[in-house]
Every structure is written in structure tokens, then in C-alpha cells.
Amino acid sequence: MGDIWLVDVSAIQLKSASYLVREGLIRGRLIIHRAILMEIEKQASQGDTLAIRGLEELEEACRSCNVEIIYTGSSVESFGNDRLSILDEAKKLDAILITCDPTTAKLAESIGIRVLYELPPPPFKIDELFSEDVMSVHLKEGLPPRVKRGIPGRWRLQEISDKPMNREELELLIAHLLKEAYTFFGINAFLEIDKPNVKIFQLRDYRIVVTRPPFSDGFELTVVRPILKKNLRDYNLPLEVVERLENHAEGILIAGPPGMGKSTFAQALAEYYRQMNKIVKTIESPRDLHLSPDITQYSKSSSKEDELHDVLLLSRPDYTIFDEIRSSEDFDLFIDLRFAGIGMVGVIHATTPIDAIQRIANKVDVGVLPSIIDTVIFMDKGEVSEIYTLEMAVKVPSGLKKADLARPTVIVRDFLSGEPKYELYVFGERTFVVPVKKFVEELSTPTRQISSFLHKYIPEFRIEENENTVRIYIPEKYYRIYLRKCQNKLLKLARRLEVNLEAIPR
């Protein structure tokens, strides 16, 4: 009598069933449940004709290869994509299930149902598109395939074919990727989001994002692969920066525009802390940082409310890498974990360093900001371009003159020069962010003269004036030069200008 074959919607939609018939792998009787016809009709009425075209091709293949198609069941017994119902049907008929759905295939095998899980050949293999300099592949229905070539901050978008992609080719590509992913889940693959119109998963080094209408205006498949894996030493950071990261920085923001190497630097920093025998964990969505096995990577999208908070508080890592901070809930989690004493490294999109600081400052009182963020690292074209530090002082903010306006002020400094860049303070009920450089020209004439003299000998220092006192903050590495070459002359100049002078090493 021969084998009985039961086909599901995925095998019809991807034309796997018709391919298997033409290849001679299916003989005997092919069963199609009428409820599946209802599902195909429903898709067609919503504008998705892929399955109905697959059914037409299956009918044609069966006629030409003398395979009998039998329609069974009642359309009232609608089970559509309900896996359990189709598995019950296969069990009842003792049929071999034909499917292109990896979950259905694994579940069927686990309960003793024979399964044929085969796909037609893909239009091309994703691996073949990723040459050494390709960062990502961008495929969209109706457009030619494109790739990004280059490195973060220096790349170009290039078409690799003149032929536009169609829906059938894209569906087949994603089916092949999912088949491979389900083979290695938990080892080299992670499923982050699995919804009808959005699917995000990690396969080996590839982060794969799939969107379908109505979520997107067309079927789209994006595959991203990091082309750089750098060590912290590859960034050639000054020794004082490395020393700060090792011993002082516990609230770090890695900021920059998209594609500028923020996650690559976060990855390098995570590995550096691991080599220091620190306990390091990550929060990601999706989990696409490539890290050593002893760094546990937590999925934000797979966790429920407060789960990450509770797990991290109880497991007490030395550092948590948060890649990346987007929503209000993300900011709240970062802030709360930092208040709990956990070292936090947050990756955040921002066009300037102060933009990144303000996004945190808007969530908390200004007075506690340096307790949450103490270091901001700004990335540009894959390199560290600016490093800022935050500290709290009680002072008259820049731009204000009266001594009775002194208040708690957050000073944002360029770490390498020690020069103040911005001040944040509360005046009335508003929080002000003030660029300090705007007020350099408003310094008194005596202070400008002292600053001009000092610049002849020392390249980096910070100068402040308060009433008739001028304070100079000098980096320790230049303080000996100050004592030897500047101190006596400056004290004479200060007496002549009738101001008090204080020089403070820092």
C-alpha cells in the first residue's frame, strides 16, 4: 500500500513538499488536512499568497509524478498552525510528517512520529556572502541583496547582485538558518525573540533579525557579524586611563553613535576584567557579544520583570556589562544595580558624551549622578576619542558670580587634561547643563593674566576664581615644574594684582 505522508503548512509554503515529490523522495499517498486549506485561504485573504502558490505547485508535482493527494478531515476542525493537532493527526494515520518547522520536527520525533525535515536548496548560502571585510548582509523583498563593507565608522553599502530578492527566496533562506540554529541551540545558537512578525536569534557569530508585515513594510532579513575582536591593549590607551579602569571606574558609560565600535570596546573591557579575576556578567538583547565561557550572558528579552535585578543582586558580580541601555526600564535597572554597589558598564547611543550623561541625569537627582556614573568613554570610528570623568563639588557654578549662589555642582572633566567641560546644577526647579568653555572669556583680568603666564610652562591645568581668590588645579605630573619654574613668579604677580593665589596638586 505504501507510505502515508502528512504535510503541514510550512512544507507547502516553502515548496518543500513539491520539491520532495519531484526528487522522488515521496511515493504513495499524500494527505492534506482541510483545516490546512483554511489556513492557506486565510493567508491569501490577508495578501500572503506564498502558501497558495506552493499548493498549486504541489498539485502539479503530484500529477506529473503519479503521487495521490487525498484531502481529509473537516474544515470545521480548524487547527491551522497548532502543532499538537497536526501531530495528533500524524499519529492517528501512522503517517510520515513533512515539515519545514524545526520545533514541529523535534516535537514529532520525541513522541515517535516519523519525520521528513528537508528543505529545497537555498538561493545562496549566507556564509558565502561574508568575506573578510563584510560587516553585515541586508536582504529585503523587492530589492537586490546588499552588504556593508569596511569597519565601524568607515564602511560602504554595496549591491552584490542586480536581481531583486523575492519573498520565496527570503523565506527559504531563513528556514535554512533556523534549521541550523535549532541543531545547535544552547551551544552556538540562542533564540532571543520569536513572534509571528519578528524573530531575532544568534547563530554562531551571526546576529539574525527577521521582520515580516505588518511589523515592517516588507519581508526583511538582516545578518550582522562582528569583524573585529579587540583586546583592551589594542586601543593604545594612556596608562592613567587603564589605571582608572582597573581601580577607580565603577560606573562607566560607553557612548557614541551607531556603528562606532561601542560593543567591541565593551567586549574588550569585559575580557580585561575577566583576566583580572573579576566576576563579569552581561545583560544583552540579543546576546551577541563574543566572550569567554566563564562570562555569563543574560538575555534581557527572555527574562521576566525583576528577574535580572534579583539574579544580579544575589550573584553579586564585580562588573555587569549592559549592552545596550535603551528603555526607561533599562535605565532604572542600571541605576538600581549601581546603587547596590555592582560595577556597571553601560553601552548607550549618543551623539556627544554630554548627551549620554544627560540621559542618566534626567532620571536621578543631580547630587547622586557621580555615584552612578564616574567615567564616560566616547567612541568614534572604532577608537576611544574622548574620556570624561564626573565629580561633585560645592561651588558657585560657572556663569554665576555671587558667593551666596554656591550649590552642589557636578563637574564633567576631560580626564586626560583635567579641564572642566560642563557643569550640571539645579537652579530653582530646573537642572542646568552648562558648557564651562563659554565662560573662560568672562574670567577677570587678573585670572586671565595668571592663566596666560602659567600656559608658558604647563600645558594642562584648571583655574577657578572666587571673589579675590584664584585657585589653580595642577596635575601631579606637572606640579614639580610649577614649584621650580612658576611658583615665585606667580606669587609676585598675584601680589601685584591684589589677589590671593592657591596652587593645588591633583
Angle between helices 445-454 and 487-497 (to 10 degrees): 170
251 lies in some domain: yes
Closest listed residue to residue 370, CA positions, set 434, 422, 430: 422
Which pLDDT does position 192 carry in this prediction? 78
Omega within 30 of 0 (cis) for the link into 102: no
pLDDT band at 334 (very low <50, low <70, confident <90, very high): very high
Cβ burial of 327 (10 Å; 0-12, 13-18, 19+) is exposed
259 lies in some domain: yes
More confident residue, 203 or 302: 203
64 lies in some domain: yes
Res. 250: pLDDT tops 80: yes
Question: Does residue 165 sit in the same domain as residue 37?
Answer: no
Closest listed residue to residue 343, CA positions, set 248, 237, 243: 248
Residue 427 is classified by DSSP as E
User: Whole-angstrom Cα distance, residue 201 to residue 185?
Assistant: 10
* Residues shown for the chain: 506
Question: Does residue 272 sit in the same domain as residue 347?
Answer: yes
Q: Of 159, 191, 224, which residue sits at a domain end?
A: 224
Query: Region 391-407: what's the mean pLDDT?
Result: 77
> Residue 269 in contact with residue 321, Cβ under 8 Å?
yes
3-state secondary structure of 161: coil
Question: Does residue 429 sit in the same domain as residue 474?
Answer: no
User: Whole-angstrom Cα distance, residue 115 to residue 111?
Assistant: 11
Question: Does residue 379 sit in the same domain as residue 482?
Answer: no
pTM: 0.67
> Residue 58 in contact with residue 18, Cβ under 8 Å?
yes
**For a pLDDT cut of 90, what percent of the chain falls above it?**
37
pLDDT band at 227 (very low <50, low <70, confident <90, very high): low
354 lies in some domain: yes
Angle between helices 167-183 and 50-64 (to 10 degrees): 90
Which has the minimum average pLDDT: 94-108, 132-146, 429-443?
A: 429-443
Sign of CA dihedral 88, 92, 98, 102: positive
The grid coordinates listed for 269 are: 573591557
pLDDT band at 505 (very low <50, low <70, confident <90, very high): confident
Question: Does residue 421 sit in the same domain as residue 367?
Answer: yes
At 142, give phi and psi (nearest 5°): 90, 0
User: Whole-angstrom Cα distance, residue 72 to residue 463?
Assistant: 87
Q: What CATH number corresponds to the domain at position 29? A: 3.40.50.1010
CB atoms within 10 A of CB 82: 12
130 lies in some domain: yes
Tally of domains within the chain: 4
Tell the residue number behind the cell numbers 555569563, with chain if given. 296
Q: In terms of DSSP bridges, do strands 343-349 and 134-140 run parallel, antiparallel, or are they unpaired?
A: unpaired
Res. 430: pLDDT tops 80: no
> Residue 279 in contact with residue 320, Cβ under 8 Å?
no
* 285: Cα separation from own chain's centroid: 6
pLDDT in tens, 61-76: 999 999 889 888 765 5
pLDDT in tens, 142-201: 999 999 998 766 788 999 889 999 988 999 999 999 888 888 776 678 777 888 789 888
Residue 392 is classified by DSSP as E
pLDDT in tens, 336-373: 999 999 999 999 999 999 999 999 988 898 889 999 99
More confident residue, 2 or 351: 351
Res. 458: pLDDT tops 60: yes
93 lies in some domain: yes
Question: 50 in the Ramachandran plot: left (φ > 0), alpha (ψ -120 to 50) or beta?
Answer: alpha
In sequence order, which residues have a C-beta less than 8 Å from that of residue 372 and are 6 or more positions away?
Answer: 251, 334, 335, 338, 339, 360, 364
In sequence order, which residues have a C-beta less than 8 Å from that of residue 267 and are 6 or more positions away?
Answer: 229, 230, 289, 290, 291
> Residue 166 in contact with residue 86, Cβ under 8 Å?
no
Which pLDDT does position 6 carry in this prediction? 92
Question: Does residue 380 sit in the same domain as residue 501?
Answer: no
> Residue 10 in contact with residue 82, Cβ under 8 Å?
no
Res. 79: pLDDT tops 60: no
Which pLDDT does position 431 carry in this prediction? 81
At 444, give phi and psi (nearest 5°): -65, 160
121 lies in some domain: no
Question: Does residue 402 sit in the same domain as residue 449?
Answer: no
Q: Across 332-341, 434-443, 479-488, which has the greatest mean pLDDT?
A: 332-341
Question: Does residue 255 sit in the same domain as residue 329?
Answer: yes
Rg over alpha carbons for the chain, rounded to the nearest Å, is 32
Which pLDDT does position 322 carry in this prediction? 95
Tell the residue number behind the cell numbers 553601560, with chain if given. 346
Closest listed residue to residue 396, CA positions, set 471, 498, 476: 471
Q: Of 434, 460, 477, which residue sits at a domain end?
A: 434
264 lies in some domain: yes
CB atoms within 10 A of CB 101: 24
> What's the domain range around 57?
4-116
Res. 477: pLDDT tops 70: yes
User: Whole-angstrom Cα distance, residue 348 to residue 159?
Assistant: 30
Which has the minimum average pLDDT: 209-218, 306-315, 350-359, 393-402?
A: 393-402
Longest dimension (CA), the chain: 114
Which has the minimum average pLDDT: 30-39, 51-60, 67-76, 430-439?
A: 430-439
Which pLDDT does position 402 carry in this prediction? 67
Tell the residue number behind the cell numbers 595642577, with chain if given. 474
Closest listed residue to residue 487, CA positions, set 468, 502, 465: 502
pLDDT band at 81 (very low <50, low <70, confident <90, very high): very low
Q: Of 191, 224, 257, which residue sits at a domain end?
A: 224
End-to-end CA distance of the chain: 91
pLDDT band at 261 (very low <50, low <70, confident <90, very high): confident
3-state secondary structure of 149: strand
Which pLDDT does position 438 carry in this prediction? 43
> Residue 230 in contact with residue 264, Cβ under 8 Å?
yes
Q: What CATH number corresponds to the domain at position 280? A: 3.40.50.300
* C-alpha torsion 82→84→89→92, nearest 10: -170
Which pLDDT does position 156 carry in this prediction? 87
Q: Across 10-19, 194-203, 284-293, which has the greatest mean pLDDT?
A: 10-19
In sequence order, which residues have a C-beta less than 8 Å from that of residue 84 and are 6 or more positions away?
Answer: none
Which pLDDT does position 305 carry in this prediction? 66
Which pLDDT does position 440 carry in this prediction? 45
User: Whole-angstrom Cα distance, residue 482 to residue 474?
Assistant: 8
In sequence order, which residues have a C-beta less than 8 Å from that of residue 76 and are 6 or more positions away?
Answer: none
Mean pLDDT of the chain: 86
Question: Does residue 391 sit in the same domain as residue 289?
Answer: yes
Question: Does residue 329 sit in the same domain as residue 423?
Answer: yes
pLDDT band at 268 (very low <50, low <70, confident <90, very high): very high
pLDDT band at 80 (very low <50, low <70, confident <90, very high): very low
Which has the minimum average pLDDT: 238-252, 348-362, 365-379, 449-463?
A: 449-463
Question: Does residue 322 sit in the same domain as residue 384?
Answer: yes
Question: Does residue 133 sit in the same domain as residue 261?
Answer: no
Q: What CATH number corresponds to the domain at position 457? A: 3.30.70.2210
